[in-house]
């Protein structure tokens, strides 16, 4: 009886399987599945949307950096601090990288850098932005992945001793120093002979550091260094690897990933988020007019420091690029909405992170401070099909140079009569020749 039942059911079973396979082949929208895989393509593992992070990468493991470090004469009694890192992400990032490079060049140890968040005194002209009333200095994790930084240096420069923390100490054998001050006549392109740094530092120590208590270490508090160290002086491999020892903090990377996901879904825009430059995708723009930290007095005479010139240039470029989506990074949502209204004439939709991130994501974004939120924009903009920014902004330049690494051979041209710099991936408006020359001192 059981055998008979089994045999009698077999045609139904096989028939059911056949119908299922027919439905699977003809009934399922395979293109939708392919699109979904193409859109996100985040991970081969079972990663949730909340955990997804397309901006993650392993610690730097660079033979070129190891060769550089092995050629240095190391001094265990020389310690550098790097605590005067302030300003926007472009300034802070370059400042910390310069600190590391100067510490390596001198063969000294380095106390883990810290960051001075921008405070309420810089917000006098921007009452709409939260006041922080003298936020105390923060650790490197305020913006960056601390473990990645330490692991990268351990792998790529094992001789460099990283000191996690050092108590404040006053000693005659401790002084502050701006490294560039030891070099006379520095051109706009940076130090002429950066390899002279250890020699000049040694002479400075002998002249200005106390001879008392020579058993104590020499502690040098490095002041903020920005656009003076020529990155290509260390060779191509170091110049295009060194900046990766700094990776943004994990929460900002995940928020940037979710911003791209939401943009992809909301506008039905298939994107492979794993690509460094997603093409075709969206037009990215840095609207630098409303940041309370912009150097308005210094750049008030610059045409592209104002909304009208920026918005006009960005919309024309986006229209020429035949992109229908523009992602705006701006400190003023009012102006972001304003350019959104103007974009309707070009049949372009404008969006931004505050528009795309909702509910829990929006709450997480709100908990971040001003400069931390900018990290989300920075990451999203690096992946745009085309990017546009302004020449007087280190934020714009840093993004453009990061994208610039994807070009082989690397090239970029400045049209001086229009003050426009472009390399095919990014365009910066209001660029002076001196900006291009000094960009050779900004780590990508």
pLDDT in the model for residue 412: 87
pLDDT for position 255: 98
**pLDDT above 70 (res 120):** no
Cα separation, 112 vs 81, whole angstroms: 7
* Phi, psi angles (nearest 5°) of residue 420: -120, 125
Q: What is the mean pLDDT of residues 117-142?
A: 60
Please work out, in degrees rounded to the nearest 5, the angle formed at the alpha carbon of residue 392 by the alpha carbons of 390 and 393. Answer: 70
Is 129's pLDDT higher than 80? no
Kindly tell me if the per-residue pLDDT of 41 is higher than 90: no
- The answer to which of 115-124, 378-387, 412-421 has the lowest mean pLDDT is 115-124
76 Cα distance to chain centroid: 32
pLDDT confidence of 29, banded at 50, 70, 90? very low
260 neighbors 53 (Cβ within 8 angstroms)? no
- pLDDT value of residue 161: 98
Residue 73, judged by CB atoms within 10 A of its CB (0-12, 13-18, 19+), counts as exposed
Handedness of CA 67, 73, 78, 82 (dihedral sign): negative
Provide the residue ranges of all domains of the chain, joining segments of one domain with +: 63-245, 250-441
User: How far is the C-alpha of 283 from the C-alpha of 245, rounded, in Å?
Assistant: 28
pLDDT tens-digit map of 203-242: 999 999 988 888 899 999 999 998 999 999 999 999 999 9
pLDDT for position 443: 96
Q: Is the dihedral of CA 252, 257, 262, 268 positive or negative?
A: positive
Rounded percentage of the chain residues whose pLDDT exceeds 70:
82
Residue with the bigger pLDDT between 165 and 356: it is 356
Provide the strand spans (E) within 60-139: 78-81, 109-111, 114-115, 138-139
State the angle between helix axes of 146-156 and 63-70 in degrees (0 to 180), rounded to the nearest 10.
70
Q: Which residues contact 323 (CB under 8 A, 6 or more apart)?
A: 280, 281, 282, 283, 348, 385, 386
Q: Tell me: pLDDT of 407 over 80.
A: yes
At residue 66, does pLDDT exceed 90? yes
Q: Out of 1.10.287, 3.40.50, 2.30.29, 3.30.410, select the CATH number for domain 250-441.
A: 3.40.50
**Alpha carbon distance 79, 175 (integer Å):** 11
Split at pLDDT 50, 70, 90, the class of 45 is very low
Q: Are 315 and 347 in contact (CB under 8 A)?
A: no
Burial classification of residue 185, based on how many CB atoms lie within 10 Å of its CB (0-12 exposed, 13-18 middle, 19 or more buried): exposed
pLDDT tens per residue, range 131-188: 334 578 999 999 999 999 999 999 999 999 999 999 888 899 999 999 999 999 999 9
**pLDDT band for position 408 (cuts 50, 70, 90):** confident
What integer is the mean pLDDT of 377-383? 98
- Each residue's pLDDT tens digit, 74-95: 999 999 999 999 999 999 999 9
Tokens of 377: 């924009």
pLDDT over 70 at 417, yes or no: yes
pTM: 0.86
Average pLDDT value over all residues in the chain: 86
Residues 280-323 pLDDT 10s = 999 999 999 854 444 444 444 578 989 999 999 999 999 999 99
Report whether 301 contacts 277 (CB < 8 A).
Answer: no
Q: Compute how many other C-beta atoms are within 10 angstroms of the C-beta atom of residue 4.
A: 8
Share of the chain above pLDDT 90, in %: 74
What pLDDT is attached to residue 135?
72
């Amino acid at each position: 009886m059981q055998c008979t039942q089994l045999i009698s059911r077999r045609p139904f079973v096989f028939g059911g399987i056949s119908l299922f396979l027919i439905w699977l082949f003809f009934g399922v929208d395979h293109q939708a599945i392919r699109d979904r895989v193409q859109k996100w393509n985040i991970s081969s593992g079972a990663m949730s949307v909340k955990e997804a992070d397309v901006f993650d990468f392993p610690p730097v493991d660079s033979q070129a950096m190891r060769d550089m470090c092995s050629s240095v004469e190391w001094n265990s009694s020389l310690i550098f601090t790097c605590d005067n890192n302030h300003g926007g992400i472009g300034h802070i990032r370059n400042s910390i990288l310069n600190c590391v490079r100067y510490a390596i060049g001198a063969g000294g140890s380095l106390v883990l850098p810290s960051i001075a968040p921008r405070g309420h005194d810089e917000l006098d002209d921007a009452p709409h932005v939260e006041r922080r009333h003298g936020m105390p200095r923060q650790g490197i994790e305020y913006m960056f992945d601390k473990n990645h930084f330490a692991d990268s240096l351990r792998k790529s420069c094992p001789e460099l001793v990283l000191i996690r923390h050092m108590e404040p100490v006053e000693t005659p054998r401790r002084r502050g120093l701006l490294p560039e001050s030891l070099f006379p006549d520095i051109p706009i392109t940076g130090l002429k002979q950066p390899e002279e740094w250890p020699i000049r530092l040694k002479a400075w120590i002998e002249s200005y550091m106390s001879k008392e208590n020579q058993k104590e270490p020499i502690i040098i508090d490095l002041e903020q260094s920005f656009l003076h160290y020529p990155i290509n002086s260390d060779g191509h491999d170091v110049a295009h690897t060194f900046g990766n020892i700094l990776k943004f903090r994990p929460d900002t990377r995940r928020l940037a990933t979710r911003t791209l996901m939401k943009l992809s879904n909301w506008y039905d825009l298939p994107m492979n988020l794993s690509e460094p430059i997603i093409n075709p995708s969206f037009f990215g723009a840095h609207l630098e007019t409303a940041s309370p930290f912009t150097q308005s007095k210094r750049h008030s005479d610059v045409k592209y420091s104002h909304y009208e010139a920026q918005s006009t240039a960005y919309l024309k470029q986006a229209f020429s690029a035949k992109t229908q989506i523009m992602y705006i990074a701006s400190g003023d949502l009012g102006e972001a909405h304003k350019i959104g209204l103007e974009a309707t004439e070009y049949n372009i939709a404008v969006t931004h992170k505050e528009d795309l991130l909702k509910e829990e994501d929006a709450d997480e974004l709100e908990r971040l401070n001003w400069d931390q939120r900018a990290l989300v924009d920075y990451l999203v903009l690096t992946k745009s099909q085309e990017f546009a920014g302004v020449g007087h902004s280190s934020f714009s330049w840093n993004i453009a140079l990061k994208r610039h690494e994807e070009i082989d051979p690397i090239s970029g041209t400045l049209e001086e009569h229009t003050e426009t710099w472009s390399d095919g991936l990014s365009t910066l408006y209001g660029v002076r020749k001196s900006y291009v020359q000094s960009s050779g001192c900004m780590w990508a």
